[in-house]
Chains A and B, each alone.
Chain A
């Protein structure tokens, strides 16, 4: 497990002697930074609120109970673990009420405490926090492979074969004349350049609230959801064309809109998300027809976009399996 130097143990104890004892005994906790404060007033919440910490408050009966401080601390640092050491009887009862009603204390230790056992309990907590941090990190990494928006609900029960129908705008991108580029450059160099271009396309797709479904060799398949999906897809396509022009890697883009079946394909060992349907085929066909730096979209996409996009009709008739009549398509111009 990797060490996380951001994990802090904050000790609050008004008594210098017991504060030193706590510091001395908790120094055995590895990979943690220890900070001891005389009072909660010394705590600077601006600098420490983003870090995960274990707060140890050794409360003395003559101190004013720092109830407000504990609530503020838990509010600003909700992932932190708050431990209060208190005398049994009235002080314990007061902290127990705070724990029950405001959930700002995770554990109360009654004095007298065995410091060795206390240190052991905290070291177990540090291990648990580290495991949780690692799981959170893995979770965030995995989320990058999952669809966003309404599509994510499919992953609540990722059963291969399960699918749902969605109204979506489908966009395909493809680098033009990539075969020539592969011949000109080494495969390794081309692969690195391809990754750079697809990454920049994916970033633009995310910027316009779209979602990359998968890479398709030299391009991407992306979908857009919601009322503004056609507008966003067209704006995104224009941005991709601008960016590819700057990178001297011309692309063709095809866009269609309609009902699409989204779901999970695979086996119990390996699954992947995919979209299928006539509009996916149509967008792929349009992408295939689009020349260098061109965007081809159905008339339906342009009319649904509601905002004016400069366009001219595609004279060629596009027929696609699944569509009874030829589809009217437009060249989108920047």
Chain B
């Protein structure tokens, strides 16, 4: 440990500097500070993008570094959102109820207030009682603990079951996808206690802060997201830089060999799976107050696959690649689906990008997988001259599945 973390990873400092610059720039141009060059809704979009970058880092840790293609991390993201959403919704509804009940001729008892809140929140699913899982929703502290605890515990139990029985590779991917699907289907039920397919809404309003304009609130969330992303990046860089990171990469390249070397592969995998689930939960808890609404459709398996798409396009196995991929693809996606891209008239048919964007994304994803496994991040290698040594076309790794040099160069 002669050199510090930053000295070994100059990209961390560059990234943090870029992130700080970006945050300052957006702050300076936002509506809250008067210039108004960037609209509040776009500040929110940028804030949400930062959260997506954070979960992309988690995905990169678990997939790019450890080789576990998890198709379930958006489930943890959604759970984090639900946990914070419960508090936001409860407190917000309580404020409204207390205000409206203040006009009653007799002041309400605590029981009446609770009943009215329950009626207000669960009226849409034909119920009025608080389910057990809402037991802590009155307390911000406890719900914040749950933001970390619920995704973490779920990942711990699921990962323990899966890794213990040596489910690997494609099987694990399908299993994680099944877990996501099960969770989404469960939440879609009205009696799941989380308002079925209505989800939780009105999350953009912070309780007790009605006087603060949304422009300011959106800036706060942008700062919080940027801070979380910066810390997440630092943490991820720290995890992958030392000996621990080497073991992770070893598991990715040849799991059996690492196991024979005496490392407890399952423990490493379980640790990284749980930690990334927690990061995903935190990212979700920051994302959904900016989005304003969360419903089970957000957790559908397709979302987790898009996450893999972002990381793959950005370049897996490098942290800044994941960030670039998530930011680039989600912003371009917003741009295309927002109808701002001009259509291409072909004479016999007009390509409307709102309809054809997903086709373009799918196909470009195939092309990236086939021809540019290093993604956008790979472009930096030309710049830093960090090209790998010439192995005269041999396999890069020992296994039959390892990349060959000519593929890695592509």
**Binding between chains A and B:** no
Residues of B that sit less than 8 Å from A by CB: none
Residues of A that sit less than 8 Å from B by CB: none
